[in-house]
Amino acid sequence: MTIVTASNSPPEGVFVPVPTFFKSSPVPPALQAPLDVETQIQHSTHLAKNGIRGLVLLGSTGEAIHLSRAERYELLSGVRKGLTEAGFPDYPIMAGILVNSVDETLEWLADAKKAGAQWGLVLAPGYFGAAANQENLLEWYTLVADLSPIPILVYNYPGVTNNIMVSPETYTKLAAHPNIVGCKMSHGNVSHHVQVSLDPAIDHSKFRVYSGFGQQLGPIVMFGAAGVIDGLAAIYPRTVARLFELAVKRPVTEEALKEMQTLQFAVSRAEEMIVKWGIVGIKEGIYQVLKMGNLEGGRLPLKGRMPDGEWENWSVAMGAMEKFEQV
């Protein structure tokens, strides 16, 4: 299957910030377990076959900060090759770019292009987040976009950037840049999502707004957002994708609205596990539901699994998702 977009912008829909899979134990003299590219491809192909419009590889969930440059390239190029062999040669891939230096950001972007990613999801530079201002963020992103070999999206995740918030006014200015094609807002300020999604000064066919939370999918998509980049969809792709289909369809019938409300409740409730357990919870869910990966978690300091019995504590929420997934 080939997905063609109307421009160099990513498609609307549900993207998944996929976790990076590792083997169970290191191979001496290595200190940490190596990548499990085979499982990475298996999981990515499963998502592509079940309604997910694209992947974010090496984002925050993908632990790019815990990987070497060689490992990042190995993972990106391996998944691109695996998807092509599975019949998805142009499947959308965003590569996470999680560094503060302009020069290193451009290095990551060049590697991402070479490995087969179409876009870079560029995290706001937050090491000195408390001292950053909107003018400096605008200049930083403009400089990166001017020189990036692939189109970029602005990635605003205050939880890992010392609480940087990109303002709606800054998005309006950045959206005018020909090489900035969207944003991901990983925060709970729904007003920012709606303002940027509906801003008449922005060309929304070119600049796409995504939330990092499936809890917000229905409300923000009904008010102009392009979709979500959602961790729960790594476990239950069909259900989250179905929710998007209902939210984007016009006109909204009473029957469709009722189904959307039912699905949004189930998704929002299940997302509480993702909020609490993050990467460890996503990996546990993939193992429990899809039988992929292992229970070793991520790399230090994220190594490990949920406590015994914790997955079962979420049986009501996950059981509902499982039923929807089978419809």
Mean pLDDT of 292-313: 93
Q: Name the pTM for this structure.
A: 0.95
The pLDDT value recorded for residue 81 is 98
The pLDDT value recorded for residue 130 is 86
pLDDT in tens, 85-110: 999 999 999 999 999 999 999 999 99
The pLDDT value recorded for residue 296 is 87
Q: Is 184 a catalytic residue?
A: yes
Mean pLDDT of 167-194: 97
The pLDDT value recorded for residue 327 is 83
Q: Which CATH architecture has domain 13-325?
A: Alpha-Beta Barrel (3.20)
Active-site entry in 49, 113, 184, 323: 184
Domain residue ranges of the chain, discontinuous segments joined by +: 13-325
Instruction: In the chain, count H helices and then E strands.
Output: 11, 8
